[in-house]
Amino acid sequence: MTMLPVKPAHQLTDRPEAQCWLIERLWGAESVGIIGGEPKVCKSILGLSLAVAVASGTKALGRFTTLQTGRVLLFAAEAAEHIVRRRLDGIACAAGVALENLDIQVITAASLRLDVATDRNRLTATVDALRPVLLLLDPCMRLHRIDENVSSEVAPLLAYLRELQRGFAVSVMLVHHLRKGAAKARAGQALRGSSEFHAWGDSNLYLRRNEDLLTLSVEHRAAASTTSISLGLCGGDREDQPLSLAVLSDTAPKPAATATPVERILRALAEAESPLSVDAIRQACRMRSAVLCATLAELADKRLVLKTNAGYVRAPTGA
């Protein structure tokens, strides 16, 4: 029986730092990974922005140096051709390049199912013929009919994309959604479906929205992760104005800490011009009745609030 190939550890292939990145600090060279986020947080625009950077050699998001350039192959499963064209036009314009000068090839098939052997073979043949530096697939949920929560169904699909990456030295970006109700979960753990998605990525980008602010977080398998980055959506005020993403700050501001029930009740009473009933406090503080009543009892015991016939008031200082 033929043994597996081996070599001494000191003879393993090494790379200079500059060759380890497709886009410095954002995406590793010849890496697979996820662009993840909730609906409507500009995941697709982020993916197209990186595509334009790779095809043009310009800085991604106006900040991150593109170290490897070349052809990009993309499939946008949810957006019509004219929408993809308009988005790419705007991003290219903002980067100071003309779209017609960029080698971005768009798969125009009506569908692409990576769980179907025929479609996998066609995608492999396309990658083999075009030899792109970057393959962008958007979004994952439109690329299959498997159950994303079942590891045994997800793993073969991701393994196929890994085979593409290794076989053709191509970076693979897969746009994917975060699951509902995962706002407080760590970004990678918040990805929809099986944990296989998070484990698979060499480079992963996560977009989240905090009111009007977009925050990008970056994680890598073989490099230090990048501090959260504040992004802004620029342009688009007029129909002829290009729409693009740009870095606002390399360190995203942390959201304000959530006030405790005690702080919220004391603030509401301090701002009130007259005593407040339990119901009025509950509405002002947006608090469950059980938590409110327990907190009011605690504050009354500590003589920080007083209960009057008209309702609750903040106790005078020194009471």
Structure confidence at residue 166 (pLDDT): 97
SS3 content of the chain, % helix, strand, coil (to 5): 35, 25, 40
Which of 63-89 are b and which e, b meaning 16 or more Cβ less than 10 Å from the residue's Cβ?
Answer: ebebbbbebbbbbbbeeeeeebeebbb
Distance separating alpha carbons of residues 283 and 281, to the nearest angstrom: 5
Structure confidence at residue 209 (pLDDT): 84
Same domain, 211 and 117: yes
Same domain, 302 and 191: no
Q: Which residues touch 159 (CB under 8 Å, ≥6 apart)?
A: none
Same domain, 212 and 102: yes
Amino acid letter at 301?
D
Q: What is the CATH number of the domain that holds 149?
A: 3.40.50.300
Structure confidence at residue 98 (pLDDT): 96
Same domain, 186 and 305: no
Distances (CA, A) of 223 to 202, 210, 219, 309: 9, 27, 8, 63
Structure confidence at residue 290 (pLDDT): 85
pLDDT by position in tens, the chain (length 319): 899 999 999 888 876 665 689 999 999 999 999 999 988 899 999 999 999 999 999 999 999 999 999 999 999 999 999 999 999 999 999 999 999 999 999 999 999 999 999 999 999 999 999 999 999 999 999 999 999 999 999 999 999 999 999 999 999 999 999 887 666 667 778 899 999 999 999 999 999 887 667 899 999 998 888 768 999 887 755 555 567 888 887 654 444 456 788 888 998 888 888 899 988 888 788 788 888 888 998 998 888 999 999 899 998 864 4
212, 229, 249 - which closes a domain: 249
What's the pTM? 0.75
Same domain, 66 and 100: yes
C-alpha count within 13 angstroms, C-beta hemisphere, residue 267 = 10
Q: Would you put residue 93 in left (φ > 0), alpha (ψ -120 to 50) or beta? A: alpha
Structure confidence at residue 287 (pLDDT): 81
Same domain, 170 and 279: no
* Residue 10 lies inside a defined structural domain of this protein: no
Distance separating alpha carbons of residues 70 and 102, to the nearest angstrom: 9
Structure confidence at residue 58 (pLDDT): 97
200, 220, 249 - which closes a domain: 249
Q: Are 137 and 74 in contact (CB under 8 A)?
A: yes
Structure confidence at residue 242 (pLDDT): 65
Domains identified in the chain, total number = 2
Structure confidence at residue 319 (pLDDT): 46
Give which of 38, 63, 39, 37 is closest to 49, Cα–Cα. 63
